[in-house]
Amino acid sequence: MAEPRRPHLLVAVAGTGTEIGKTWVTAAVAAALRDRGRTVGARKPAQSFETDDGATDAHRLGAATGEDAHIVCPPHRWYPVPMAPPMAAAVLGRPALHIATLRDEISGSWPPRADDIGFVELAGGAASPLASDGDAAALTAAIDPDMVVLVADDALGTINAVRL
């Protein structure tokens, strides 16, 4: 079996919750690196969203990296209902997600020319369900990133949320 492709630096972007700015931070850093001549890529293993929200996370990340939104997040992992991905899949009658499958999809999605830096933006918080058999922390362990960036809001009590 061929060795999975991987960026030179793989960064997982996790959060203390949903809607706290993971996509904004990832897109801003990716765009700044790209402006400095680095090759960057982003992956969103699964995304759920309100259909009337306009651009999805995959669209925003793709705009920052120069990739198509369907490369950032494969179309079969788009869930147009605002719920954790495994719950959204169940509500929509789609197959269950599994950590190993998500890991393999991410590993197989990087281009043959290795990106300098690859970002994997996770859904929700670190303990948010991401698959029927694991959460965002489990996927982080499965992809074995070089670095994890934790994004948190700037509200009172954030230190507690980050330390948990």
Question: Could you tell me which of 148, 149, 51, 47 has the C-alpha nearest to residue 102?
Answer: 47
Residue type for position 41: G
What is the dihedral sign for C-alpha 77, 80, 84, 89? negative
Retrieve residue 54's tokens. Answer: 């306009």
Location of structure tokens 């949320």: 161
Residue 40, helix vs strand vs coil: strand
- The question of whether 44 is a catalytic residue gets the answer yes
3-state secondary structure 76-135: HHEECCCCCHHHHHHHCCCCCCCHHHHHHHHHCCCCCCCCCEEEEECCCCCCCEEECCEE
Q: Which of 26, 29, 43, 44 is catalytic?
A: 44
Residue 21 DSSP one-character state: S
Catalytic residue numbers read 44
